[in-house]
Structure 1
Amino acid sequence: MRVSTVIMFERSVSSMNRQQGQFMEIGEKIASGKRVVRPSDDPQAAARAVGVSQSMASNNQQSDSRITARNALSQEESALNSVTDALSRAKELLVQGGNGTLNDAARQSMATELRGVYEALVGQANATDGSGNYLFGGYKDGAAPFVETNGGISYQGATEGREQKVGPSRLMSVGNTGDEVFQRVATGAGYLARAGDGNGGSLTFTGPETIDSTANGYGSTFDISFSDNGDGTYDYNVSGGPGGSGTYDGKSGAIEVGGVRLKLEGRPADGDTLSMGRAKEMNPDVFGALEKMLGALETPIDSDQAQAAFTNALSTTSREMDNALDNVLTVRASVGARLNELDVLDTVGNDRNVSYTQTKSDLIDLDYNSAVSEYVLRQVGLQAAQKSFMNLQGTSLFDLV
């Protein structure tokens, strides 16, 4: 086979171009710091790197979501702290209100301060975050959850709280609804008693007290009505649970039903009623309880009937404040637990991100030591090809003549 001068030139140029291409390719990798600059460099590694990048993006998105959740929960915890202080102060005022030496003016003064506490609670119940969203409105965070109506403060927010994905498989509640905070009681809250609104006698009660939680009918709601026998004694009838009836002597005694005891003093009027039941079944509402107590404090005590109404309202409201405070503390504990969980998820997320980063680096990042060695090798190869081409250019058959 004859080797012509054209073929020799073409092969020399092709070798030089190939060496130059390889040299520029390794130079591009060194400049970018990547072993896989384009998918064709290593299709399998490039495909795996895309999957790792997607996982990293999801992990980073969840990290941002945790920041949002932490801000929301921190603001809720701050509001709940203020609610706790307000309820504690209300409880202190109720304890002071039980002092029998107070006159109407002193009780009116207490009512003024208690109304301030009441307004502060309403303000905290309608607290907003930095974006103007209501903390305790649930999904309906664009309007005030608690609205004043003719019947008092009414909750008009959502019954479901907002949730946010803060982990690969964790959907976290980032806000409690207003009814959870202000219209519920903690698990385990005991019995609560209330006097009928139309009671006209001087009957007062203490308790109720649980004496046997295994008794028939325990957990039921009981309604007690009194009838005057005209001889200083009063028959009573209990509806609810196992029911029952008996006679009260008009001085002091106790009614026991369904494992619950309610102590009585004073004389009921004919038709007076009492009710008692588990606190969660007695329509718990911190605002309604305070409104009734405010009415009792602002009403002059000028008769045995008024004194009995005040005493009963004080007894019921004190228990309701205890239950409300326990419930708020339970919610605060839940918020604190979620904040702690976010810290744990942050740690796990950071570890996961480090792992993703290392895996992606192993797949596409450049080993500079081997790359620089190859760069020098390609440079020598290119120079050799160029030198060979230059030498080829100077050859001629006439030099042999």
Structure 2
Amino acid sequence: MRISTVTMFEQSTASMNRQQSDFLKVSQQIASGRRVVNPSDDPQAASRAVGVDQSIAITEQYADSRVSARNSLSQTESILNSVSDAVTSAKTLLIQASSDTLSNADRESIASELKGVYETLIGQANATDGNGRYLFGGYKDNAPPFVKTAEGNVEYSGDVNGRQQQVDASRLMPVTENGKTIFQSVPSGAGYIAEAVKEDGTRNTGSVTFSGPQVTDVSDDNYGDDYRVAFGGTEDAPTYTVQRFDEATNAWSNVEDHVDQPYTGGTDTQQLSFGGVKVSLEGQPQSGDQILVAQAGSDQREPDLFKTLESAIRVLETPAESTSERAELRNTLNTSMRDLDNALDNVLTVRASAGARLNELDVIDAVGSNRMMNYTQTLSDLVDLDYAEAISEYSLRQVGLQASQKAFVDIKGMSLFDYM
């Protein structure tokens, strides 16, 4: 069989190219640290690696989302801590103002301090995060949620929802609270609150004061309903009528056995019991005066921390000279202190919820970290290089290439003319 010189050269060159290709492939694997450099190296492993890479990217996105959520919740928790301190300070000032030994000037001084607490709370309610978004405006976070009206009252203009963030595949977590939940709500366990106010919102003109209300029978069929004590009769023979608010008819109706009953409070104390609650009354009423006894947070007694402070500031700035003015001072302070107790309980409840979510983020972080380790290990098993095996293969391919080159040199030097 005759083998041409061209055939020998072509075969030798093809052999060297093949050996060099294998050698370069191993060199590339060692340089990159990956066994699968191109999909053609291991199509099945490359396909699975793409899915694992996507899972790692999603897990990293959730981790970044949790960092943002933790920042928002930490800021919320910190601000709520300041709010609870401010409410406690306001309650302390109202207790101080309740002393009968204080003069009008003393109470006006306390009102000035209370104004400072009031302004502090407005500032906290309109706090922003690091990106300029208002924390307590819900999804309407581009404007202050609490604004002062022309009359000087503070109203909530934000959204009634709290912003939520996806912190894991199956967890959509609220990362902020809306201002209504914090400053215009009460905890679920809040009880009754009494307030000396007429149906049209004006203040009583008599000198009746109240204490309580106290819960006496939670098993009463009408416990939890809203009531009011309406005074009538004459100055010499005053009467009272207890009315219950019927949500079905959206109207007040008289309570049986409590209609046009003689009021004998005056300088003594008269206790009224109805609907599982008891309220104590003193002083002389005027016809048309009313005492509202309603569940905190009901439609008849909507909670509002700012209105509570506004009422307290107003009554402390008003000189209490007459018996009716002193009665209004006492009643307003009693109502305000109960409102502040409920407001503090509510703020602490919301703060505890924020703290619980911060703890939950720690748990989700730990789970996400373990998941990331599993993904990383799986990806390493699929595409990473075994260096010991690769170095051995590298040496083998190097020897093969050198042998191919040496064989080619030896073959191309063979010629019959050397033997002639």
**After superposition, what is the alpha-carbon deviation per residue over 1:5-57, rounded to whole angstroms, capped at 9, x for unaligned?**
32222222211111111011111111111100011101111111111111111
Matches within 5 A, 1:296-307: 296-307=315-326
Contact residue 127 and residue 135 of structure 1 kept, 8 A: yes
Q: Which amino acid aligns with 2:273?
A: E
Contact residue 139 and residue 160 of structure 1 kept, 8 A: yes
Aligned residue in 2 for 1:165: 166
Contact residue 229 and residue 240 of structure 2 kept, 8 A: no
Give SS of 2:297's match.
helix
Matches within 5 A, 1:57-206: 57-149=57-149, 150=151, 152-196=153-197, 197-206=202-211
Q: Which amino acid aligns with 1:219?
A: G
Of residues 255, 272, 278 in structure 2, which corresponds to 1:255?
272
Question: Matches of 2:143 and 2:23 in 1, distance apart?
Answer: 66
Question: Matches of 2:332 and 2:305 in 1, distance apart?
Answer: 13
The TM-score, its normalising length taken from structure 2, stands at 0.92
**1:73 CA drift (Å):** 1.2
Q: Percent identity?
A: 54
Aligned residue in 2 for 1:397: 416
**1:352 CA drift (Å):** 1.3
Q: Which amino acid aligns with 1:266?
A: G
Q: Which amino acid aligns with 1:22?
A: D
Q: Which amino acid aligns with 1:248?
A: Y
Contact residue 232 and residue 250 of structure 1 kept, 8 A: no
**1:77 CA drift (Å):** 1.4
Contact residue 133 and residue 141 of structure 1 kept, 8 A: yes
The TM-score, its normalising length taken from structure 1, stands at 0.97
**1:129 CA drift (Å):** 1.8
Contact residue 225 and residue 244 of structure 2 kept, 8 A: no
Question: Matches of 1:54 and 1:198 in 2, distance apart?
Answer: 66
Aligned residue in 2 for 1:370: 389
Of residues 267, 271, 274 in structure 1, which corresponds to 2:291?
274
Question: Matches of 2:317 and 2:340 in 1, distance apart?
Answer: 19
Question: Matches of 1:45 and 1:278 in 2, distance apart?
Answer: 66
- Give every structure 1 segment of 4 or more consecutive aligned residues whose post-TM-superposition deviation is greater than 6 Å: none
**1:151 CA drift (Å):** 6.2
Distance change (3 Å), C-alpha of 1:231 and 1:30: same
Greater shift after overlay, 126-135 or 54-63?
126-135
Greater shift after overlay, 154-163 or 349-358?
349-358
**1:229 CA drift (Å):** 4.3
Structure 2, unaligned stretches of length 5 or more? Answer: 247-253
Question: Matches of 1:151 and 1:119 in 2, distance apart?
Answer: 12
Of residues 212, 215, 235 in structure 1, which corresponds to 2:240?
235
**1:230 CA drift (Å):** 4.9
Aligned residue in 2 for 1:25: 25
Contact residue 250 and residue 268 of structure 1 kept, 8 A: no
**1:358 CA drift (Å):** 0.9
Greater shift after overlay, 128-137 or 58-67?
128-137
Q: Which amino acid aligns with 1:324?
A: A
Contact residue 237 and residue 262 of structure 2 kept, 8 A: no
Structure 1, unaligned stretches of length 5 or more? Answer: none
Contact residue 193 and residue 276 of structure 1 kept, 8 A: yes
Give SS of 1:160's match.
coil
Question: Matches of 1:384 and 1:336 in 2, distance apart?
Answer: 71
**Is 1:221 aligned with 2:226?**
yes
Give SS of 1:280's match.
coil
Aligned residue in 2 for 1:346: 365
Aligned residue in 1 for 2:250: none
**1:278 CA drift (Å):** 1.1
**1:123 CA drift (Å):** 0.9
